[in-house]
Amino acid sequence: MEEQACPRCKTTKYRNPSLKLMVNVCGHALCESCVDLLFLKGSGSCPDCGVPLRRSNFRVQIFEDPFVEKEMDVRRRVMKDYNLREEDFATLREYNDYLEELETIIYNLTNNIEIIATNQRIDKFKRDNKEIISRNRARTGREEMELEELLEEEKQVHENRKRAIVEEELQEKRKKMRNKEALIDELMFSEQSAASIVETFKKRKQEEEEEIEKIEVALPPVAATQFSTGIKFGQRVPKDGFLPVPKEDDTPLYKYEPLVIPRNGPVPPNWNELTEMKYIVHVREASKVEKAGGFLAQLACLRALEEAFDGLFASKKLVVGES
């Protein structure tokens, strides 16, 4: 893996451990020192591609690859407007077409392909879906606020639990310190022997530990907050009710049945016959990159033969209407 380095001043992480690479909308990285030097007046051009940039738009690079950083920035900016959901479409096909268009726009902006035309598509989409975009932005804002409240509440519970544990440990230390001081005072001023005093304190400590164990055993168990199915107590039941929990007798075991494809043609050769009958000779050999991706020449050859043989026995009847 190549070490991170500024492409302009060639400073590396090895020579400067505090090196911070920063990127802008163009996706080319610069170290913080070069950004301060080149954009001293607040604006300037990228030394790699010459795109006009502003100093305020630079941000710390998170990913090692600047191209990935650019793609994530483009995706964030585009999805502020392309925030439609599946329920905003009449059919699943329309929603899938929308997702495909979204990925095409992100790809074009990331790779500098048809920038003007792509921005025009974005403007047209914003004009045509202005109300839906505004509604989804408000909905997303509420969901983010609810999520932040839940995270803040969970954080507060964690801090209170941590504070209670610290306070309990501190009280235990103070108690041990008082017992130690009391033992020292007894040894210094009591007329009894040291052995009897130590034995008395040992018995007293043992009695306290037994008392604590009795209290812990007598404490009631913590009440459950949800059923074994994961449904919380007090949760509203839907109008249609919950789905019944399947029983073992109601759910038969899965039995595999091989798929039978009606080919209506001659039986194509199998995997071994591809080499024996020299079908594979007419297909180019897969490259190392293709093999790494799981592609084999036999797969392409077998698929081509199956498609060629399929439906060869089919016949069409010509129906002539009365003229």
Q: Are residues 139 and 207 in the same domain?
A: yes
Q: How many domains does the chain have?
A: 3
CB 22 within 8 A of CB 35: yes
Regarding pTM above 0.85, the answer is no
319: confidence class by pLDDT, cuts 50, 70, 90:
very low
Domain assignment present for 316: no
Dihedral of CA 86/88/91/93: which sign?
negative
Which domain covers residue 170, as residue numbers? 134-214
pLDDT tens by residue, 167-226: 888 888 888 888 888 878 777 777 777 888 788 888 887 877 777 777 666 656 655 565
Range of weakest confidence among 48-52, 137-141, 215-219 = 215-219
CB 197 within 8 A of CB 186: yes
Q: What integer pLDDT is reported at residue 119 of this predicted model?
A: 87
Q: Rounded CA gap, 187 and 196, in Å?
A: 10
Domain assignment present for 30: yes
Domain assignment present for 227: no
Q: What integer pLDDT is reported at residue 321 of this predicted model?
A: 47
**Residue that is last in its domain, among 188, 214, 240:** 214
Q: Is 35 exposed, middle or buried (0-12, 13-18, 19+ CB in 10 A)?
A: buried
Range of weakest confidence among 30-34, 71-75, 216-220 = 216-220
CATH number, domain containing residue 26:
3.30.40.10
Domain assignment present for 319: no
227: confidence class by pLDDT, cuts 50, 70, 90:
low
Domain assignment present for 67: yes
Domain assignment present for 12: yes
Q: Rounded CA gap, 280 and 301, in Å?
A: 6
CB 184 within 8 A of CB 194: no
pLDDT tens by residue, 247-264: 666 667 788 888 887 878
Torsion of CA 151, 154, 156, 158, to 10 degrees: -130
Q: Rounded CA gap, 25 and 110, in Å?
A: 10
Average pLDDT, the chain: 78
Domain assignment present for 36: yes
Domain assignment present for 122: no
CA-closest candidate to residue 267, choices 316, 301, 306: 306
Q: Which strand ranges, in their side-by-side order, compose the sheet holding 30-31?
A: 30-31, 21-23, 59-60
Average pLDDT (286-312) is 85
**Residue that is last in its domain, among 175, 198, 214:** 214
- Cβ-proximal residues to 107 (8 Å cutoff; 6+ apart), any chain: 113
* pLDDT greater than 50 at residue 67: yes
Q: Rounded CA gap, 113 and 107, in Å?
A: 8
